[in-house]
Structure 1
Amino acid sequence: MQTPEVLVLQASYTNPVHAQALGTLLNHYAEDVMGGGESLSLDTRQQLASELAKRPHAFSVLAFIAGEPVGLVNCFEGFSTFVCRPLVNIHDVVVLSSHRGLGISQKMLAKVEEIARQRGCCKLTLEVLEGNEVAKAAYKKQGFDGYQLDPQMGRAMFWQKVL
């Protein structure tokens, strides 16, 4: 079977096709066990693009095959105080389950890196669940690894407090 051609691009939050793809793909992720297993509200799906557009440091990358959205990466620019340069946090990585194993995440992550380099960023960051071995392997292929300053202090942990 021939690998289908994948179009990877930075999303335009004002493009209706891109806006719908953002909501649909993020909902697919939310419904997956790795995303919590629950659907997003209709309001969230419909308002996602317009809310992201209000945030100048947000950007998204979409992947399409034959005009159909199959992948999404949402990113937010932050700032490294230790390096005094911007960084990009990869917040969501989504590939439709029907299209996994085709290298789509690799192509999207490469596009994110290209955008980050254009912005003068010093690094990319992301969070991954300990048990998500497939995602961890994909991220390692792109050069990601666990974060630690001093091995005796252990690896950094990602915590949250819901408001």
Structure 2
Amino acid sequence: MTGTTTLKPATTVTIVQADYAKADHAKAIVAMLRVYAMDPMGGGEDLLDQVKANLVPGLAATPAASSLLAYVGDQVAGLANLMTTFSSFGGAPLINIHDIVVAKAHRGTGVGRALFDAIHQTAEDIGACKVTLEVLEGNAPARALYASLGYGDYVLDPEMGKALFWQKRL
């Protein structure tokens, strides 16, 4: 997936499918994930050296993984790490947005929307039944963007409540 979007005021965003074998793409992926990690919404701490070293090789070794990079000019401005899997209830592929980040200097300029346009086009291209993501309750700007794009709580039966995202660290 590659595309260019012109945003207001005259911000041109280019979205490219990352090639994990390209050094500049690998460097951009690590740089953007570090931006995310150091943000309060990503935990507020830099990635460990081991994580930085393993990140791109690990993505490359994961058949379900793909990444989109957003550029404004020649500057990396955003990243989306995606995992494609299969929805047993939908009987079709689904894309999970595992990570999405926009550099602080580019937030509110449409870079996030451009990334979502590319994600949605990718999902359409593979016949996906849905796109999923997780968001922190306190991340109001991201929640507002996601809601404006049609995302909402995962509910099968309102009487059973919303789905919860749990984890167990190993």
**How many residue pairs align between the two structures?**
163
State the secondary structure of the residue aligned to 2:11. Answer: coil
**1:44: how far off?**
2.0
Show structure 2 runs of 5+ residues with no match. Answer: 1-7
Equivalence map 1:91-102=2 (5 Å) = 91-102=98-109
The residue that corresponds to 2:155 in the other structure is 148
Instruction: Give the match for residue 84 of structure 1.
Output: 91
- How do 1:102-117 and structure 2 match up within 5 A? 102-117=109-124
Q: TM-score, normalised to structure 2's length?
A: 0.91
Deviations 1:92-148 (A, max 9, x none): 110011110101111101101111111121100000001111001111122111110
Using the alignment, how far apart are the partners of 1:39 and 1:77 within structure 2?
Answer: 27
Q: Which runs of 4+ in 1 moved over 4 A?
A: none
Which residue in the other structure is 1:58 paired with?
65
User: Please, what is the CA RMSD of the aligned residues?
Assistant: 1.3
State the Cα distance separating 1:60 from its structure 2 match: 0.7
Instruction: Name the SS for the 2:44 alignment partner.
Output: coil
* Residue 16 in structure 1 maps to residue 14 in structure 2: no
Residue 157 of structure 1 pairs with residue 164 of structure 2: yes
Question: d(CA) in 2 for partners of 1:99 and 1:126?
Answer: 21
**% identical equivalent positions:** 44
Shift of 1:16: 1.0
- Tell me the SS of whatever aligns to 2:81: strand
In structure 1, what is the Cα distance between the partners aligned to 2:121 and 2:55?
Answer: 24
Contact 1:23 1:44 in 2 (8 A): no
Alignment partner of 1:36 is 2:43: yes
Give 1:43 deviation, angstroms.
3.1
Higher strand share: 2
Name the counterpart of 2:5: none
Q: What is the alpha-carbon distance in structure 2 between the residues aligned to residue 63 and residue 160 of structure 1? A: 29
CA distance in 1, matches of 2:68, 2:106: 16
Q: Give 1:70's aligned residue.
A: 77
Q: Normalising to structure 1: TM-score of the pair? A: 0.95
How far did residue 22 of structure 1 move? 0.3
Q: Secondary structure at the match of 2:85?
A: strand
Structure 1 unaligned regions, length at least 5: none
